[in-house]
Structure 1
Amino acid sequence: MGFMHPCSISASDPVVVKTAVRPFGCKHSAALFPAHHKLGAMKHRYSMRKLGRTSAHRWALLRNLVSQLVQHERIETTVPKAKELRRVADNMVQLGKEGTLAARRRAASVIHGDGNLHKVFSELAFRYKDRAGGYTRVLATRVRQGDAAPMAYIEFVDRPNELRESKPPVTPPPPRVPLPPWLQSRHARCFAPEDSGL
């Protein structure tokens, strides 16, 4: 919803008086905004969902979830947590495919347990060697009874007993056949700039 001019607000709308502050602390006259209009609510440069937690609590949650996902290869959680977990899990598989010592140390700072770390760098890296991305999928399942939170399964693709068959990895398109020389010169003359002299 864009800015509403004060004259377009009806008498029945609840309104909020907002005094805007200019740079250097100079105030100007108050303006009226409808109560449902969120002031300054742009979503630019939001790096991730907050999940109702502090930064340390959020990263502890994601580290636990990605470790459990690597161990069990399918877990059930809420939809926002699953969508954030998908990014972290795909990054861990990408580090596993790199296979360097630096990548192993970066993954060890996120994944709990030596067994899970070994699984990322051996089993999962081998499984997804031909896949360029999209190592996990999120499938909405149900609404949790206690608080009506939407739940979802997040699982690795191309695994045994997966909930839905995955699409095969995309193969690159065949290389383009070059134009014959006589057509190249004609093509160059037709599409050359006017001042090029062709």
Structure 2
Amino acid sequence: MRHRKKFNHLGRKSAHRKAMLANMASSLILHKRIKTTVAKAKALRMYVEPLITKTKDLNTVEERIHAQRTVFAYLKDKFAVKELFGDVAAKVADRPGGYTRILKLGNRIGDNAEMCLIELVDYNENMLESKKSSSAGKRTRRGRRKATTADSAVAAEAPAQESAEPTSESTEAESKE
């Protein structure tokens, strides 16, 4: 039984698991997305999201240095730490959590393992563009009544404008003939 056991051991000894997660977290931070199995991605999400949270709300230089040293103890890659505290921290500053996204891809051909793509949320331009376009046209059920009254008011104004426009075009057409 695995009562109160929080994380997946991934079939590895603790030193191997810590090294693997550190390498995967560095790759995720540097490349913004990696392809891996679903089990490893879920373990990586639990590993990397607290590290990203440590980059937020640093008021003094001492706090920043302490946070960088703490994160470096986990990642063991100074380039990943620099990227995390530079570019990634600026993008996730206003996000309350949920910095990663797991997109399932299907099964691997060789061993039929479930594969997925784990990525940092703020770096997928396609998802960000679709979110912006969908929020402009998105309406809720409560908003329909207000939207229909607003649409009817706009529709009432529209025929008056349309009737004025053809008359000016028709007068121009008549004057040319």
Q: Structure 2 regions of 5+ residues with no counterpart?
A: 133-177
Aligned mates of 1:144, 1:113 — CA distance in 2 = 29
Q: Deviations over 1:75-120 (max 9, x none)?
A: 0000000001011111111111144222111100112322211111
Does 1:139 pair with 2:98? Answer: no
> Is the counterpart of residue 60 in structure 1 residue 19 in structure 2?
yes
1:120 alignment counterpart: 84
- CA deviation after TM superposition for structure 1 residue 49, in Å: 0.2
Q: Which residue does the alignment assign to 2:6?
A: 47
Superposition deviation, residue 47 in structure 1: 1.9
Among candidates 70, 84, 89, match of residue 43 of structure 2: 84
Cα distance in 2 for residues equivalent to 1:167 and 1:91: 25
**Distance verdict in 2 for CA 1:133–1:167, change over 3 Å:** farther
User: Which of 93, 108, 111 is residue 129 of structure 1 equivalent to?
Assistant: 93
Q: What is the rounded CA distance, in whole Å, between the counterparts of 2:94 and 2:84 in structure 1? A: 15
Q: 1:140-169 CA distances to partner (integer Å, 9 max, x unpaired)? A: 10211111000000000121445x44869x
- Counterpart of 1:149 (choices 113, 119, 123) is 113
- TM-score by length of structure 1 reads 0.59
- Which of 69, 73, 79 aligns to 1:109? It is 73
1:181 corresponds to which residue?
Answer: none
Q: Which has the higher contact order (CA 8 A, sep 6+)?
A: 2
User: How many residues matched?
Assistant: 126
Contact 1:75 1:155 in 2 (8 A): yes
Pairwise CA RMSD of aligned residues? 1.8
C-alpha separation in 2, matches of 1:133 and 1:157: 10
In structure 1, C-alpha distance between the alignment counterparts of 2:93 and 2:117, rounded to whole Å: 24
Q: CA deviation at 1:133?
A: 0.2
How high is the TM-score relative to the length of structure 2? 0.66
Is the 1:96–1:122 Cα contact (8 Å) retained in structure 2? no
Structure 1: gaps of 5 or more residues? 1-40, 169-198
The reply to whether residue 93 of structure 1 matches residue 52 of structure 2 is yes
Q: Normalized per residue, which structure has more helix?
A: 2
User: CA separation in 2, counterparts of 1:140 and 1:155?
Assistant: 11
Residue in structure 2 matched with residue 35 of structure 1 by the alignment: none
Q: State the distance in 2 between where 1:93 and 1:45 align.
A: 25
